[in-house]
A and B are shown apart, each in its own frame.
Chain A
């Protein structure tokens, strides 16, 4: 092999490998908790100060019964732990957790302080193994393929508490091209999101194509919790699952 063709081969190889190597070197993926704890939260904006233990909340328990829309659109929980201003009178008066935890849909506030104020982020996680056994497995996060479960009707979460929303009318799948030539584009399916998330959770606060084009969706910003990272770091399947967003990428 001549000197020249060797260089060409090298250049060719590094062209293929470099983006991946650079990506690995530049961005450290956050460490994932165990599947039973993925999406579990400890809320303590006011509890400790009020002399009670922090409140534990698990997404996996609740999302089998309710979509994100119910809590983050109708009930107006923030999508950031410890930021919604809640005092326990709200819960007593039927707001926030109290919209369901009223002794009818779910255990009520009275006499049940310790079911919420556990101070333990792993509260009832021992039940997770039994729960997840029958479900469609996945690699990361809760290691449950929530989209697939929805498609198969293995879960049928309620989409509203107070007023039934009109039929969703937008199913467009968008191809989001990378700023770098060799990176397979990311896909964004509206249909799969609409069944969980309300339009106004995303538009225009998170995604406003008029203000910033999609070329700003860099992985660096996604990993900081912007754009897709708003959900895909904490509750929806995590960033480790490259091929689910970049179908052309193989590991």
Chain B
């Protein structure tokens, strides 16, 4: 009995931190948005608007994180949202 209990405690301690805290992992959405930048010119304005929305939504979840991870995602998402709106703007009114 005691051994089982110790085993369970060890597993709990070794679990990655976000699971302790009970937060839902932000990484999949973060990575999914990251992969879209290179093809942004091939997307339509409605698709770009959708991406921009997802990007700003994810930004509002950053307070759930802390430390270097938060800092890195904050910087990256700021640039990513800015790129999507830049490409959207140039599709809506292309430079001369």
Contact code string B3-44 (vs A, CB < 8 Å = 1, else 0): 000000000000000000000000000011011111111100
A203 to B32 Cα, complex, angstroms: 19
B38 and A169 contacting across the interface, CB-CB below 8 Å: yes
Q: Which of A90, A168, A198, A210 contacts B89 (CB 8 A)?
A: A210
B83 and A204 contacting across the interface, CB-CB below 8 Å: yes
B38 and A165 contacting across the interface, CB-CB below 8 Å: yes
Prevailing SS type, chain B contact patch: helix
Contact code string A64-75 (vs B, CB < 8 Å = 1, else 0): 000000000111
Q: Which residues of A contact B42 (CB under 8 A)?
A: 169-170
Q: Which residues of B contact A163 (CB under 8 A)?
A: 31-32, 34-35
**Additional 15 contacts, C-beta under 8 A, given A166-B35, A205-B82, A210-B89:** A73-B76, A93-B68, A164-B35, A165-B37, A165-B38, A166-B38, A170-B42, A199-B38, A199-B83, A200-B37, A200-B80, A201-B79, A203-B86, A205-B79, A210-B86
A200 and B82 contacting across the interface, CB-CB below 8 Å: yes
> Any chain A CB within 8 A of the CB of B72?
yes
Q: Distance (Å) between the CB of B8 and the closest chain A CB? A: 25
Contact code string B56-96 (vs A, CB < 8 Å = 1, else 0): 00000000000011011001100110110011011000010
> Any chain B CB within 8 A of the CB of A167?
yes
Q: Which residues of B contact A200 (CB under 8 A)?
A: 37, 79-80, 82-83
Q: Distance (Å) between the CB of B52 and the closest chain A CB? A: 13
Prevailing SS type, chain A contact patch: loop
Q: Distance (Å) between the CB of A175 and the closest chain B CB? A: 13
> Any chain B CB within 8 A of the CB of A31?
no
A48 to B25 Cα, complex, angstroms: 36
Q: Which residues of A contact B68 (CB under 8 A)?
A: 90, 93, 95
Enumerate 29 A-B pairs (CB-CB under 8 Å) in ascending A order.
Answer: A73-B34, A73-B76, A74-B34, A76-B72, A76-B76, A90-B68, A93-B68, A95-B72, A162-B31, A163-B32, A165-B37, A167-B38, A167-B39, A168-B38, A168-B39, A169-B39, A170-B41, A194-B38, A199-B37, A199-B38, A199-B83, A200-B79, A200-B80, A200-B82, A203-B82, A203-B83, A204-B82, A204-B83, A205-B82
Q: Which residues of A contact B69 (CB under 8 A)?
A: 95
A165 and B75 contacting across the interface, CB-CB below 8 Å: no
Q: Which residues of A contact B37 (CB under 8 A)?
A: 165, 198-200
> Any chain B CB within 8 A of the CB of A209?
yes
A141 to B86 Cα, complex, angstroms: 32
A195 to B49 Cα, complex, angstroms: 26
Q: Distance (Å) between the CB of B17 and the closest chain A CB? A: 11
Q: Distance (Å) between the CB of A37 and the closest chain B CB? A: 29
> Any chain B CB within 8 A of the CB of A208?
yes
Q: Distance (Å) between the CB of B1 and the closest chain A CB? A: 35
Q: Which residues of B contact A210 (CB under 8 A)?
A: 86, 89-90, 95
A209 and B75 contacting across the interface, CB-CB below 8 Å: no
